[in-house]
Amino acid sequence: MTSLDPTIAARLKRNDAGLVPAVVQQHDTGEVLMLGWMDDEALHRTLTTGRGTYWSRSRNEYWVKGETSGHAQHVVEVRLDCDGDTLLVKVDQEGPACHTGDRTCFDADLLG
């Protein structure tokens, strides 16, 4: 059971695992930092604590960005796209967002 506002929960279109992708963006520059996954509880925690909280598909547990690395995400706003199937989380990122140490998870591979 989650405490997510029922009006918000009703608008979400989740995948078969109950998750919604969350595109994370630096609020002032528009830089795309990472993609995370949220269920209702992760979204509730993000909205109420102001810290980026995600569901780890590999570890099957919640994680708060920066809790172990110190590279916290301070949430400025969260938006839902027109289809209800993707979240946009605008943050103030402390340090690198990627677990590799890169500023963004999209620094490494330019295709084509």
What domains appear along the chain, each with residue ranges and CATH number? Answer: 6-93 (3.10.20.810)
Residues shown for the chain:
112
- Residue 112 has what pLDDT? 78
Contact (Cβ atoms closer than 8 angstroms) between residue 19 and residue 55: yes
- Residue 93 has what pLDDT? 98
DSSP 23-91: EEEETTT--EEEEEEE-HHHHHHHHHHSB-EEEETTTTEEEETTTTTS--EEEEEEEE-TTSS-EEEEE
Establish how many alpha carbons lie within 13 A of residue 91's alpha carbon, considering only the half-sphere containing its beta carbon. Answer: 32
pLDDT in tens, the chain (112 residues): 679 999 999 999 999 999 999 999 999 999 999 999 999 999 999 999 999 999 999 999 999 999 999 999 999 999 999 999 999 999 999 999 998 999 999 987 778 7
Give the pTM: 0.94
Cα 13 to the center of its chain, rounded Å: 16
